[in-house]
Amino acid sequence: MTDMTALAQPFTSSMSIPANHGSLQTERGGKTSERGGKVLAYVTDPATETALRQTASQLLVGDFEVRRGDVRTAVRDLARQRSPDLLIVDLSGIELPIGAMESLSQVCEPSVTVVAIGDRNDVALYRNLRGLGVAEYLFKPLPSDQIEALLGRAAGTAARGEDTGRQGKLVAVTGARGGVGTTTVAVNLASYLADVGRRRIALVDLDLHTGTVALHLNLKPGRGLREAIEAPERVDQLFLERAMQPASDRLDVLATEEPIIPPVAPNPRAVLDLLDSLRSQYHYVLVDVPHDLSETARAVLDQAALRIVVADGNLAGARDALRLRGAFESSGSSRQTLVVHNRRGAPGALTPAEFNRALGGPADYAIDCRPKPLIEAATLGEPAIKRCAPFKSEISKLAEAVSGQSAGGGTSLLGRLFRGGKSAK
């Protein structure tokens, strides 16, 4: 449900549905074919359930399901399963509907279209829900023409594969230099957002030859990443489902391990198109970007809504972090850049005060040097946040910056999810 203000026109009873449903696709021989993407409805009363089922059958909406329950039931179910293309939720009897929709936003994928129904003929509620980006609010009993418009248009849109314009946030994590712990930060940040934040996360390792994201998560690198950038026309939802490797129930990884010779030089446009495709399926797409500043690396850094520069506590690291941040700022981009002082307090490194002076100001975030638990976690192929509580606490602060949610409140989660996704475009 990210950035849902860019929805198309609302579903209304004024939409004309031909009596013979002539817009339905037909197969050869005159047989009408089912169409559309996944439609899932949660309703609290039998009358609405019956009306939805009958209309879906008439319109030949192939992948359609009605479940008895309200928006809270939807939250429970979608925390454990993929989101549909169209989600209908019942707000009947819900005392705080906006709060309920906020809970729903935490479990829905960015590409889902949400329609709310309820028993309150309340203009203020309607405006609030529409203002938050919900596609439409309809109050019961639902007229048959509204149901036809809702399901007919939803089926047609999904069948044509139209883009709703809602996308997740692209976050690029790169090192000021090599060997500064960029992958450790990226892997644990992704794991925290997925396992603690309960967001759907895609983690992409752009080091095609020597990347270690898969090793950190005990995964075997696949071929999907190379295939996606060499044949971008093949990339669709089914391709991504097959190419992504699950590290947990909400964290998927795209990584490869190509031969050193000959080197693979990915096309920047193909990589950006791939990341755009992922952003329609995930709340956050985190990319471990090599520090070599190749054409592809620069393209990803330029497009990212948030750039995280990781530097360890030596003079060269502080210098190059300063140069990278300055280069990003001089480009005129309004996108945010954060500097992470990694391995703070390491033996022989600059003190925090010295590092900050070399950087020209305080680092945005700091992670203390704890080699033992981090090395053990990497050896076992599991996120270090599962083994080291202080490290998890430091990663949580960085995760708050990624999601825009500060410990003290700040921007509401609902407002961020419904309005923030397009900034990464």
Mean pLDDT, residues 386-398? 96
Mean pLDDT, residues 186-202? 94
79: phi then psi, degrees, rounded to nearest 5: -70, -15
Mean pLDDT, residues 287-298? 93
CATH code 3.20.20.80 for 169-406+414-424: no
Any bridge partners for residue 219, and if so which? none
Confidence of residue 263 (pLDDT cuts 50, 70, 90): confident
389-392 contact pairs (CB < 8 A, 24+) = 391/188, 391/367, 392/188, 392/192
Token duo for residue 243:
């190419």
| Mean per-residue pLDDT over the chain, rounded | 83
Residue 39 near residue 84 (C-beta atoms within 8 A) = yes
Q: What is the CATH number of domain 4-21+34-160?
A: 3.40.50.2300
Domain ranges of the chain: 4-21+34-160, 169-406+414-424
Model-wide pTM > 0.75: no
Rounded Cα gap, residues 346 and 355, in angstroms: 12
- pLDDT digit string (tens) for 133-177? 788 899 899 888 888 888 876 655 444 444 445 678 999 999 999
Same CATH topology for 4-21+34-160 and 169-406+414-424: the answer is yes
Q: Give 254-299 as a 3 state SS string.
A: ECCCCCCCCCCCCCHHHHHHHHHHHHCCCCEEEEEECCCCCHHHHH
